[in-house]
């Protein structure tokens, strides 16, 4: 069974450009989460999809970030325009049931974004 | 509000020695607790989790953790580490019925030969 897959693994872009990160969750997992780790600090929650609906986007830093989940399958996270402080590692996770306490959340390997 | 504090940013230890990675949590409501590991160039992998019941939780790769409600701690231990345990370890909490993990800042475990 394939795990959570993220593309690309690394991305280096200039300030002001646009970048789109993609996450393919484990097949059948309705719940999809985005997290971000900036500069070796804590990993922080960005948002949570249940199927194609945004359940919770309280962690999205500002309106330069746009997340979508087409048809409840893969998800994209677009940053437009990118700023220097957006650099970090973006993790995607998926789980079968609501609330990760009763199930394991499986994480992808992350996308390392560097804005120069 | 929830928070998780990992008291050590780096822990160096010699191979076959025991290790303890410390984690304290703060929450006004019941939480579940987790330890994740990130090996170099890999994603986060669940080591173990505490949901309820026995306060001593055993995980993969010989790791275990003890939930201590009075001290609000969830320290991770291994009696004898290997070089292959070199990685970054994250403690995390999840509010009961919640949907977002709250992570600590991570502890880098460096196992030396």
The pLDDT of residue A100 is: 59
Who wins on pLDDT, A104 or A6? A6
Cβ neighbors of A8 (< 8 A, separation 6 or more) are A21, A111
The pLDDT of residue A98 is: 66
Q: What is the average per-residue pLDDT within A34-61?
A: 94
Going by pLDDT thresholds of 50, 70 and 90, the confidence category of residue A1 is: low
Over the range B11-32, which residues count as b (16 or more CB within 10 Å of their CB) and which as e?
A: bebeeeeebebbbbbebeeebb
DSSP annotation of A105 reads P
> Which residues from B are below 8 Å from A24, CB to CB?
none
Residue A12 has pLDDT above 80, yes or no: yes
- If 0-12 CB within 10 Å is exposed, 13-18 middle and 19+ buried, where does residue A1 land? exposed
Q: Report the residue of chain B nearest A97, measured CA to CA.
A: B99
CB contact under 8 A, A107 and B44: yes
Sign of the Cα torsion B43, A39, B14, B21 reads negative
Cβ neighbors of B109 (< 8 A, separation 6 or more) are B10, B11, B13, B19, B21, B81, B85, B86, B87, B88, B89
Q: Report the residue of chain A nearest B93, measured CA to CA.
A: A101
CB contact under 8 A, B98 and A101: yes
The rounded average pLDDT for each run of 10 residues, N- to C-terminus, in chain B (113 residues) is 93 97 91 93 92 91 95 97 97 88 96 95
The pLDDT of residue B74 is: 97
- For residue A68, CA distances in Å to A50, A75, B8, B74 come to 11, 6, 37, 35
Confirm if A68 and A51 have CB atoms less than 8 A apart: no
Residue A19 has pLDDT above 80, yes or no: yes
CB of B49 within 8 Å of a chain A CB? The answer is yes
Cβ neighbors of A23 (< 8 A, separation 6 or more) are A4, A5, A6, A32, A34, A74, A75, A76, A77, A92, A94, A108
Who wins on pLDDT, A15 or B96? A15
Q: How far apart are CA A98 and CA B24, in angstroms?
A: 25
> Which residues from A are below 8 Å from B36, CB to CB?
107
Paired tokens of A3: 């795990």
The tens digit of pLDDT for each residue in A53-103 reads 999 999 999 999 999 998 889 999 999 999 999 999 999 999 987 665 666
CB of B59 within 8 Å of a chain A CB? The answer is no
Among the partner residues A99, A102, A107, nearest to B43 by beta-carbon distance:
A107
Residues of chain A with pLDDT > 70: what percent? Answer: 94
């Amino acid at each position: 069974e394939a795990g959570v897959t993220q593309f690309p693994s690394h991305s280096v872009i200039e300030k002001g450009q646009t970048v789109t990160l993609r996450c393919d969750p484990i097949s059948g997992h309705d719940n999809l989460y985005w997290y971000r780790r900036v500069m070796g600090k804590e990993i922080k929650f960005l948002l949570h999809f249940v199927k194609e609906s945004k359940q919770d986007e309280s962690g999205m830093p500002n309106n330069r970030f746009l997340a979508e989940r087409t048809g409840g399958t893969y998800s994209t996270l677009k940053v437009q325009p990118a700023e220097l402080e957006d650099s970090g590692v973006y993790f995607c996770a998926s789980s079968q049931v609501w609330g990760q306490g009763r199930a394991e959340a499986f994480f992808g390997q992350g996308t390392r974004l560097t804005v120069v | 509000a929830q928070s998780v504090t990992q008291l050590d940013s780096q822990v160096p230890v010699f191979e076959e020695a025991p290790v303890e990675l410390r984690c304290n949590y703060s929450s006004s409501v019941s939480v579940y607790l987790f330890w994740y590991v990130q090996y170099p160039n890999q994603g986060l992998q669940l080591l173990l989790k505490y949901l309820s019941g026995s306060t001593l939780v055993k995980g993969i790769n010989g790791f275990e953790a003890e939930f201590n409600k009075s001290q609000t701690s969830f320290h991770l231990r291994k009696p004898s580490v290997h070089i292959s345990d070199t990685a970054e370890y994250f403690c995390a909490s999840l509010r009961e019925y919640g949907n977002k993990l709250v992570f600590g800042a991570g502890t880098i475990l460096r196992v030396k030969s």
